[in-house]
């Protein structure tokens, strides 16, 4: 397994120390071929969909880890992934059968072929180690599947019980048939008596687990059919760095006694005094396992409801020995026994007290578990360094004895065998730190080399296949006996000579009196041998012909296959070229994808920054809106108060002004009524213009008509009297004059395109300034105008052009502005005397066809009416500048 990391190691100075000379055993171990420790990884499924994970399986051998801080903050651009490579990675959807086929199936084959193997599961607590090793009722684990395959392979070659008996020193001895029968009888008596280990097993066994059945196990090929086999199991646990036998028949004692680890004559480590139970079926083996499982220490923690508080080791030992020449009995020789062992180790999960919150006994258990796992890591690390150290440098001393688990399996690391490890991973983001430590340990373990086991097969010089041949011979003999053949009982055939021409020549003497008879017997024997030889030769010729035909067919097939191979090579070359082109395209696309990913990450960062700025702007706008609403409410309240106050004051002043104006208008109406009566009198002579009604009333009586924005001036009508002679003589209007104030400065306000009057009499204003539009108050007060004249033209009811001159005084105001007080209105009309119904056409021609402009009617309207006609806005009695 390789990990991608950015750490740089500082080179260390190495002091060379001469290495001690190797012993014969060490030299043999060094010279043997070595295999690395096979490390597999299995990923547990997530318990809930809401769990986050920083682990990703790239392919069947590679897995990557992502730090949790990058996942929580979504820093994809700066993500740093650590990659690990295993022999095989089992994803969360892998089945128990997939794990067994890839990991444990080769170990069972080694067991049948006489080789030792070690398999242990490693990982944090709650990662699925026990589930992988033992499984449950629905999904069987590695251990029961190993038993299924083993018993399916040796089912027809098992020896009777107690033929092999443990000698309590990690070895076995072979009992005779009589001794084995006595042992079986004694076991039967104990079973009926209800005492001992068997009674305890029947009492405490779980029938549901014991009665599990495998799903079509396939036997292992390559078994030696001439051997007898027996299976022995042991179940021990290492709790608080002490070894306990879970199958021990403790009797009255309720607590188990700790065991010690010793070394046998073959330098193999074993637990002294451990109970080895011989099993003949899978159900019996599972009953024994369940008996020990009930004694195993289990505990409840925060991370796992059923947490293993100890390391458990389930050993399956296969004992095999060759049979005799007949293939019926085991050879009574202890040195011909071959013992192979498969150790299934379920290591306790490493855990941190900060997460589990353990106290008291649980805290002590966790400390012992972590110490033993740390010792295992240290031993493997020292072993790797020693293997990588050049020859001539003293190796490090490996502390196997610091922990029971390393002391027990010392012979695997320093001796022979195959070691495999399954790293169980919980992909939750909370277990990221523990998973990192597990990955580092797996990375280091994969670099350790273990010597390959090469068991010595005992060769007694017996014929291979003798056991099967003897079995077939017995079946044929039984068939002959059933058929009633009398000679069947006298047949005695040596299995080793089944394929010979016959028995040896009988002994004879030529000088005996029975020599002639012996010669006849020899002749018959030779004839039989010749006949048998002919049959064998004819059979051989037939087989040779068949073999020759087979060879010809094979040659024909070979030629055809060569032709097909040539065509397939051409196709393969095309496909390889096409694959190369596709690989190049894939490489180009991958580079473009990387560029796009970088661009995408940049755009995402920009979007994130812009989003942040937008949020800030929105917050500022929201804050300003709140402040604006507050100010608006504040000013609205003040404005309402001020408006109410001003309205009340204005209404008071308005009422006063109306009262004054009504009083003035009443006086004026009275005066006008008197003037009207005078004018309408028939005896009143024609008065000249200098004695007009306005002069009679006087300036004081006329009064200045001041424009008010809120008041309305009643209409005052003044009628000028035109005296026209009845008999065609034109009379002049003695009251008409062009201007009363020739010495004043006038401001004439007329339309931009006035309609030409086409008359002789035109209004004349001396010292005037004409404007068409007033936009500023300075135009009214700038040149010192004291009089204002507004010229308005419009059509009357008859369709004639009517020109009205609105005259007034320009009065400065206190605020620096000015106001116009209108006091006179002149109306100029162009009329034809021909169309007049009340006048006759003049007799003289002086005025014929000449329109006279006469001021017939003078109408004083309100200031608002005048302002609306000339598009002026006039403020009365204002201290500020008036807008006109």
Contacting residues for 398 by C-beta, under 8 A, at least 6 apart: 379, 382, 383, 386, 413, 414
At residue 323, the 3 state secondary structure works out as strand
Torsion, Cα of 831, 833, 837, 838 (10° steps):
100
**Residue 125 labeled ligand binder:** yes
Contacting residues for 225 by C-beta, under 8 A, at least 6 apart: 157, 465, 467, 468
d(CA 552, CA 558): 9
**Residue 124 labeled ligand binder:** yes
Contacting residues for 89 by C-beta, under 8 A, at least 6 apart: 40, 41, 42, 43, 57, 59, 60, 61, 62, 63
**Residue 64 labeled ligand binder:** no
> H-helix or E-strand containing 35?
strand 34-36
**Residue 127 labeled ligand binder:** yes
d(CA 87, CA 103): 10
Look at residues 52, 85, 56, 91 and name the one whose alpha carbon lies nearest to residue 68: 52
d(CA 700, CA 132): 125
DSSP for 275-297, please give it. --EEESSHHHHHHHHHHHHTTS-
**Residue 392 labeled ligand binder:** no
**Residue 538 labeled ligand binder:** no
Rounded to whole angstroms, the maximal C-alpha distance in the chain is 220
DSSP for 482-498, please give it. HHT-GGGGG----GGGT
**Residue 698 labeled ligand binder:** no
**Residue 171 labeled ligand binder:** no
DSSP for 797-846, please give it. TTS-EEEEEEEEEEEE-TTS-EEEEEEEEEEEEEE-TTS-SSSPPPSSSS
Contacting residues for 735 by C-beta, under 8 A, at least 6 apart: 687, 688, 689, 690, 692, 720, 721
Look at residues 749, 820, 739 and name the one whose alpha carbon lies nearest to residue 786: 820
d(CA 875, CA 821): 11
d(CA 284, CA 202): 10
Lateral strand order in the sheet of 62-65? 55-57, 62-65, 82-85
Show binding-site residues for ATP.
123-130
Show binding-site residues.
123-130
């Amino acid at each position: 397994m390789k990990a991608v990391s950015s750490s740089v190691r500082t080179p260390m100075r190495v002091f060379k120390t001469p290495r001690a000379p190797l012993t014969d055993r060490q030299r043999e171990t060094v010279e043997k071929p070595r295999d690395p420790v096979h490390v597999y990884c299995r990923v547990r499924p997530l318990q809930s969909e809401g769990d986050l994970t920083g682990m990703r399986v790239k392919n069947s051998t590679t897995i990557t880890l992502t730090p949790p801080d990058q996942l929580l903050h979504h820093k994809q651009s700066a993500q740093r992934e650590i990659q690990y490579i295993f022999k095989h990675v089992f994803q969360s959807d892998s089945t128990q059968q997939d794990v067994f086929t890839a990991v444990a199936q080769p170990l069972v084959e080694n067991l049948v072929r006489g080789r030792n193997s070690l398999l242990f599961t490693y990982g944090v607590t709650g990662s699925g180690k026990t589930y992988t090793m033992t499984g449950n009722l629905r999904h069987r684990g590695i251990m029961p599947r190993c038993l299924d395959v083993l018993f399916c392979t040796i089912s027809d070659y098992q020896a009777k019980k107690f033929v092999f008996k443990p000698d309590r020193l990690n070895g076995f001895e072979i009992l005779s048939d009589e001794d084995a029968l006595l042992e079986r009888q004694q076991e039967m008596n104990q079973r009926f008596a209800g005492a001992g280990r068997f009674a305890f097993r029947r009492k405490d066994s779980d029938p549901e687990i014991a009665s599990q059945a495998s799903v079509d196990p396939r036997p292992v090929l390559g078994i030696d059919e001439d051997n007898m086999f027996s299976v022995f199991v042991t179940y021990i646990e290492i709790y608080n760095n002490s070894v306990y036998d879970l199958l021990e028949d403790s009797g009255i004692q309720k607590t188990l006694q700790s065991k010690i680890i010793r070394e046998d004559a073959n330098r193999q480590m074993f637990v002294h005094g451990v109970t080895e139970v011989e099993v003949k079926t899978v159900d019996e083996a599972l009953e024994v396992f369940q008996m020990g499982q009930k004694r195993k220490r289990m505990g409840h923690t925060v991370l796992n409801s059923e947490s293993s508080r100890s390391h458990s080791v389930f050993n399956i030992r296969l004992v095999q020995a060759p049979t005799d020449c007949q293939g019926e009995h085991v050879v009574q020789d202890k040195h011909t026994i071959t013992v192979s062992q498969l150790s299934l180790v379920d290591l306790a999960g490493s855990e941190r007290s900060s997460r589990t919150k353990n106290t008291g006994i649980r805290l002590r258990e966790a400390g012992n578990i972590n110490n033993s796992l740390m010792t295992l890591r240290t031993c493997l690390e020292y072993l790797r360094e020693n293997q990588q150290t050049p020859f001539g440098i003293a190796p490090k001393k490996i502390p196997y004895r610091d922990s029971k688990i390393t002391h027990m399996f010392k012979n695997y690391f320093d001796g022979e065998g195959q070691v495999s490890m399954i790293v169980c991973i919980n992909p939750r983001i909370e277990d990221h730190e523990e998973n990192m430590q597990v990955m580092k340990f797996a990375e280091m373990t994969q670099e350790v080399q273990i010597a390959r086991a090469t068991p010595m097969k005992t060769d007694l010089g017996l014929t291979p296949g003798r056991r099967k041949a003897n079995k077939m011979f017995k079946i044929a003999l039984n068939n002959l006996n059933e058929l009633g053949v009398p000679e069947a009982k006298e047949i005695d055939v040596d299995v080793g000579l089944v394929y010979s021409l016959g028995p040896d020549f009988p002994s004879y003497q030529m000088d005996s009196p029975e020599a002639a008879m012996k010669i006849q017997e020899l002749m018959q024997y030779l004839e039989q041998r010749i006949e048998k030889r002919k049959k064998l030769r004819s059979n051989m010729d037939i087989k040779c012909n068949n073999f020759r035909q087979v060879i010809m067919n094979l040659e024909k097939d070979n030629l055809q296959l060569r032709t097909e191979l040539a065509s397939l090579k051409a196709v393969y070359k095309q496909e390889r070229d096409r694959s190369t082109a596709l690989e190049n395209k894939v490489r180009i696309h991958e580079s473009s994808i990387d560029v796009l990913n970088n661009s995408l990450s940049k755009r995402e960062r920009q979007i994130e920054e812009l989003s942040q700025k937008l949020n800030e702007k929105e917050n500022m706008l929201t804050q300003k809106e709140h402040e604006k609403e507050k100010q608006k409410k504040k000013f609205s309240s003040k404005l309402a108060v001020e408006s109410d106050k001003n309205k009340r004051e204005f209404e008071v002043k308005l009422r006063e002004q109306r009262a004054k104006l009504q009083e003035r208008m009443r006086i004026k109406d009275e005066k006008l009524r008197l003037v009207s009566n005078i004018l309408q009198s028939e005896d009143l002579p024609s008065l000249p213009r200098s004695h007009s009604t306005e002069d009679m009333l006087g300036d004081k009586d006329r009064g200045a008509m001041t424009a008010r924005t809120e008041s309305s001036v009643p209409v005052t009508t003044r009628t000028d009297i035109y005296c026209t002679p009845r008999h065609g003589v034109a009379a002049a209007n003695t009251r008409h004059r062009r201007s009363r104030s020739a010495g004043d400065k006038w401001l004439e306000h007329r339309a931009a395109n006035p309609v030409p009057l086409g008359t002789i009499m035109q209004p004349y204003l001396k010292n005037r300034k004409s404007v068409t539009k007033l936009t500023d108050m300075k135009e009214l007060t700038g040149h010192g105008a004291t009089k204002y004249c507004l010229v308005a033209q419009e059509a009357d009811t008859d369709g004639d052009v009517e020109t009205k001159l609105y005259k007034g005084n320009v009065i400065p105001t206190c605020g620096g502005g000015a106001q116009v007080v209108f006091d006179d209105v002149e109306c100029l009309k162009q009329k034809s005397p021909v169309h007049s119904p009340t006048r006759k056409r003049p007799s003289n021609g002086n005025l014929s066809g000449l329109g006279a402009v006469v001021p017939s009617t003078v109408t004083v309207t309100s200031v608002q009416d005048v302002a609306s006609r000339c598009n002026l806005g006039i403020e009365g009695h204002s201290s500020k500048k008036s807008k006109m």
